[in-house]
């Protein structure tokens, strides 16, 4: 399964990639903002998206909304520092399937991914 | 971050120390270490404003780069442990290593290796603090930019801060540093949203 990770922090992308590899997902493509995420998505093969919210050029919320116009079914997990209730609701309304607040444990990421794929 | 970078940052973030008494203009008065010169936003604006903003931008860029160096080291430790485990497995296959005492020691070494690997992964996960700190700094920068742009508007001079910035969280008050401290709260909101949608 190919997973697209969109986050402007290279450190955070590495942390997510490490966590994914530990739970058996090694086919990963990366984007550092919404725009590059859309480009990667356009190249095809992506079956799941993990995206940050706060990014330059195109933020995660705009990215999710754009993806949902083109693809209403691909599972999207938002991983962000935004912890306010209204933020979570706004993300869900935009089309996010599940939501993880940073910092997270590998167990939580695993649980969320499995719930999206299950 | 090495001492020269810290010194440069400290020098840039506070008032300049006593200027040398030189009458002729100096072509390159402050030698910028290449490591800082390569960072985005490292240079203050031409009008001298936004200096603190550019310094903070540099701090976030440098800490991200340094965090990646730590991640590289952790990766290497992980790879070395993997290699060690493979070598031990090979040793265990040898005839001479079948004695119970040797097998016991070898198992203990394997177990210690697994513990090291787990600790390496834990340390990698803890590096999330870098991104969280960066985003908190981004929020401070956002407010500084607003003040800066307000003053520019008021005085009708200077340059406004650049527009291509990461979006920032609405609040940092709820952003913690303990892994999963917001999980229950987020899950409850998701559950309530889904129930409402169904109903």
B110 part of a folded domain = yes
- Is residue B72 one of the residues assigned to a domain? yes
Residues of B in contact with A98 (CB under 8 A): 190
- The CATH number of the domain where A29 resides is what? 3.40.50.2300
Say which DSSP state A20 is in. H
Residue A52 belongs to a domain: yes
B14-to-B49, B52, B62, B140 alpha-carbon distances in Å: 14, 9, 18, 18
pLDDT at B172: 58
Q: Is residue B55 part of a domain?
A: yes
**Does B66 fall in a domain?**
yes
Contact between A54 and B168 using a beta-carbon 8 Å cutoff? yes
Q: What is the SS3 string spanning chain B?
A: CCHHHHHHHHHHHCCCCCCCCCCCCCCCCCCCCHHHHCCCCCCCCCCCCCHHHHHHHHHHHHHHHHHHHHHHHHHHHHHHHHHHHHHHHHHHHCHHHHCHHHHHHHHHHHHHHHHHHHHHHHHHHHCHHHHHHHHHHHHHHHHHHHHHHHHHHHHCCCCCCCCCCCCCCCCCCCCCCCCCCCHHHHHHHHHHHHHHHHC
Give the rounded distance of the alpha carbon of B3 from its chain centre: 18
pLDDT at B38 over 50: no
Distance CA B63, CA A65 (A): 31
Please check whether residue B111 is in contact with residue B88, taking contact to mean a CB–CB distance below 8 angstroms. no
Domain total for chain B? 1
Say if B93 falls within a structural domain.
Answer: yes
Nearest Cα residue in chain A from B170: A82
Phi, psi dihedrals of residue B186, rounded to the nearest 5°: -65, -45
The Cα–Cα gap between B56 and A14 comes to: 23
Structural domain range at position B54: 3-171
Mean pLDDT along residues B21-47: 44
Weakest mean pLDDT among A18-27, B35-44, B73-82, B127-136? B35-44
Structural domain boundaries, residue A93: 2-111
Is the pLDDT confidence value at A113 over 50?
yes
Distances (CA, A) of B188 to A60, A71, B75: 22, 27, 36
Residue A118 within any structural domain of the chain:
no
Report yes or no on B187 lying in a domain: no
Q: Is residue A18 part of a domain?
A: yes
Do B178 and A103 count as a contact with CB atoms less than 8 A apart?
yes
**ipTM for the complex?**
0.82
Task: Provide the shortest C-alpha distance from residue B39 to chain A (in Å).
Answer: 15
Please check whether residue A57 touches B, CB under 8 A. yes
B40 pLDDT above the threshold of 50: no
Residue B7 lies in a domain: yes
pLDDT in tens, B141-186: 888 888 888 888 888 766 666 555 666 665 555 666 678 888 888 8
Is residue A91 in a domain? Answer: yes
Task: Give me B147's structure tokens.
Answer: 């003040």
pLDDT value at B8 more than 90: no
Residue B110, judged by CB atoms within 10 A of its CB (0-12, 13-18, 19+), counts as middle
CA B71 to chain CA centroid, Å, is 10
A106 sits in which H/E element: helix A106-117
Going by pLDDT thresholds of 50, 70 and 90, the confidence category of residue B6 is very low
Whether the predicted pLDDT of B60 surpasses 90: no
Asked if residue A37 is part of any domain, the answer here is yes
A115 in contact with B at a CB cutoff of 8 Å? no
Q: What pLDDT was estimated at residue A117?
A: 85
Note the pLDDT tens digit of each residue in A21-53.
988 899 999 999 999 999 999 999 999 999 999
Q: Is there a domain that residue A79 lies in?
A: yes
Contact present, A77 and A48 (Cβ < 8 Å): yes
Do the domain assignments include residue A72? yes
> For residue A23, what is the DSSP state?
T
Give the model confidence (pLDDT) of B67-123 as tens digits.
999 999 999 999 999 999 999 988 888 888 888 888 888 889 999 999 999 999 999
Instruction: Tell the residue number behind the tokens 């993806």, with chain if given.
Output: A67
Q: d(Cα B12, Cα A118) in Å, to the nearest integer? A: 53
The radius of gyration of chain A's CA atoms, rounded to the nearest angstrom, is 13
3-state secondary structure of A89: helix
Q: How many domains in chain A?
A: 1
In a domain, B176, yes or no: no
How do strand A2-6 and strand A76-80 relate by DSSP bridges? unpaired
Among B127, B165, B190, select the one facing A98 at the smallest CB separation. B190
B114 reaches A (C-beta below 8 A): no
Q: What is the pLDDT of residue A57?
A: 92
Cα–Cα dist A40/A47, whole Å: 12
With respect to residue A116, please indicate whether it lies within any of the assigned structural domains.
Answer: no
3-class secondary structure, A28: strand
User: With pLDDT > 90 as the criterion, what percentage of chain B qualifies?
Assistant: 21
**Does residue A97 carry a pLDDT above 90?**
yes
């Amino acid at each position: 399964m190919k997973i697209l990770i969109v986050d402007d922090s290279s450190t955070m992308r590495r942390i997510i990639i490490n966590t994914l590899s530990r739970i058996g997902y090694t086919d990963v493509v990366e984007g550092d903002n919404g725009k590059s995420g859309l480009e990667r998505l356009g190249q095809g093969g992506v079956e799941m998206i993990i995206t940050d919210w706060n990014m330059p050029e195109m933020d995660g919320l705009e990215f999710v909304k754009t993806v949902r116009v083109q693809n209403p079914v691909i599972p999207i997990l938002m991983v962000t520092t935004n912890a306010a209730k209204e933020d979570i609701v706004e993300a869900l309304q935009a089309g996010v399937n599940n939501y993880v607040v940073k910092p997270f444990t590998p167990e939580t990421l695993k649980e969320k991914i499995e719930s999206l794929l299950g | 971050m090495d001492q020269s970078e810290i010194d440069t940052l400290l020098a840039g973030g506070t008032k300049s120390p006593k200027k040398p008494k030189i009458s002729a203009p100096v072509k390159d008065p402050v030698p910028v270490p290449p490591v800082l010169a390569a960072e985005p936003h490292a240079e203050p604006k031409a009008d001298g404003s936004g200096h603190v903003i550019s310094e903070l931008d540099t701090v976030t860029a440098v800490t991200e780069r340094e965090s990646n160096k730590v991640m590289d080291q952790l990766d290497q430790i992980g790879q070395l442990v993997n290699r060690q485990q493979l070598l031990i497995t090979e040793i265990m296959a040898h005839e001479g290593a079948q004695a119970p005492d040797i097998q016991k020691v070898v198992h203990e070494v394997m177990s210690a290796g697994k513990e090291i690997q787990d600790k390496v992964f834990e340390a990698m996960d803890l590096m999330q603090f870098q991104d969280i700190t960066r985003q908190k700094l981004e929020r401070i920068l956002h407010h500084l930019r607003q003040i800066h742009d307000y003053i520019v508007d008021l005085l009708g001079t200077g340059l406004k801060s650049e527009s291509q910035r990461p979006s920032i969280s609405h609040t940092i008050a709820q952003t913690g540093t303990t892994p999963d401290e917001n999980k229950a709260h987020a899950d409850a909101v998701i559950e309530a949203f889904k129930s409402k949608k169904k109903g």
